[in-house]
Amino acid sequence: MAVTIAISGKGGVGKTTLSAMMVRSLIGRSPRAVLAVDADPNSCLGITLGIEPRKTIADLRDDVLKQKIEPGQGIGKLEAFGYACQQSLTEAKGFDLLTMGRPEGPGCYCAANNTLRAFLTQLSQSYGFVLTDNEAGMEHLSRRTNTDIDILIIVAEPTKVGVVTARRIHELAKTLPISVGKVGVIWNRMAADVDIELDGIARLGVIPYDQEIVDLAVAGKTVFDLNQNNAAYKCICEITNTVIDN
């Protein structure tokens, strides 16, 4: 069974870039590939990983409601939807990408979402790691999969707002109808000697501000263009070692 990692944090804290770097750091740690799930409606994980999603799950759900997905001989519409979900995976070297897309519209998505949950549960068994880049809250994840979270990583900046947001996400995680294992915070763009402690939330590590990452983003390059000795990336690798091995 895959190790499931969920990344959460408020917008603008570098959550998606951190998620992409962690996907890179996970490649090769298991004989099986990594599944990267972009669960943020503002889907940018594929951009940072250098691949374009074939189609989003939101598009497929809409197709079900609009009857654009036609069942084949001997299978029903929801089975056809499950097959379409499989086809929506974008494959790359060492990892696959699944993009969830925008939230549900005004129609009833219950049947399609139930099929999607079953699909994701089965799909996760084919991977060594499943890493989900979430939107600011955790509701998106709880609506769309019944897979338990082994590791919840909260990304925050060293500000009052960052501290408050980290605490809120931690409290929200306790209310989800899924099991959450380890919980920890990564302080992004913070000096190593700054000391911020949150009661009940482990400090997984600190990522320093890094101009190389900014320059790569401006140039439209990906995390795979980042030097493996880059200070921020090395911190991510150390954090990955900590959360996976302990």
pLDDT of 51 strictly over 90: yes
Rounded-to-integer distance, Cα 117 and Cα 120, Å: 5
Q: Kindly state the average pLDDT of the residues 3-22.
A: 92
Rounded-to-integer distance, Cα 8 and Cα 149, Å: 12
Q: Residue 105's pLDDT is what? A: 61
**pLDDT tens across 13-26, in order?**
999 999 999 999 99
- CB 8 within 8 Å of CB 15: yes
Portion of the chain with pLDDT greater than 70, in percent: 83
Q: Residue 144's pLDDT is what? A: 46
Containing 186, the helix (H) or strand (E) segment is strand 180-188
Question: At 237, is the pLDDT very low, low, confident or very high (cuts 50, 70, 90)?
Answer: very high
pLDDT of 186 strictly over 80: yes
Q: Work out the widest C-alpha separation in the chain, in whole angstroms.
A: 64
Portion of the chain with pLDDT greater than 90, in percent: 40
Rounded-to-integer distance, Cα 213 and Cα 209, Å: 9
What domain range includes position 127? 3-245
**pLDDT tens across 84-133, in order?**
778 788 999 999 998 887 766 655 545 556 666 777 778 888 999 999 89
pLDDT of 77 strictly over 50: yes
- CB 40 within 8 Å of CB 50: no
How many structural domains comprise the chain? 1
Query: Beta strand pairing status for 34-39 and 3-8?
Result: unpaired
Nearest Cα neighbor of 191 from 229, 231, 226 is 231
DSSP state of 147: P
Query: Beta strand pairing status for 90-92 and 95-99?
Result: antiparallel
Rounded-to-integer distance, Cα 161 and Cα 28, Å: 36
Q: Kindly state the average pLDDT of the residues 201-207.
A: 91
Question: What length is written for the chain?
Answer: 246
Question: At 231, is the pLDDT very low, low, confident or very high (cuts 50, 70, 90)?
Answer: very high
DSSP state of 184: E
Between 152 and 107, residue with greater pLDDT: 152
pLDDT of 76 strictly over 80: no
Assign residue 174 the CATH number of its domain: 3.40.50.300
Rounded-to-integer distance, Cα 147 and Cα 144, Å: 9
Least confident of 103-112, 163-172, 210-219: 103-112
Q: Residue 96's pLDDT is what? A: 95
Rounded-to-integer distance, Cα 84 and Cα 67, Å: 13
Averaged pLDDT score across all residues of the chain: 83
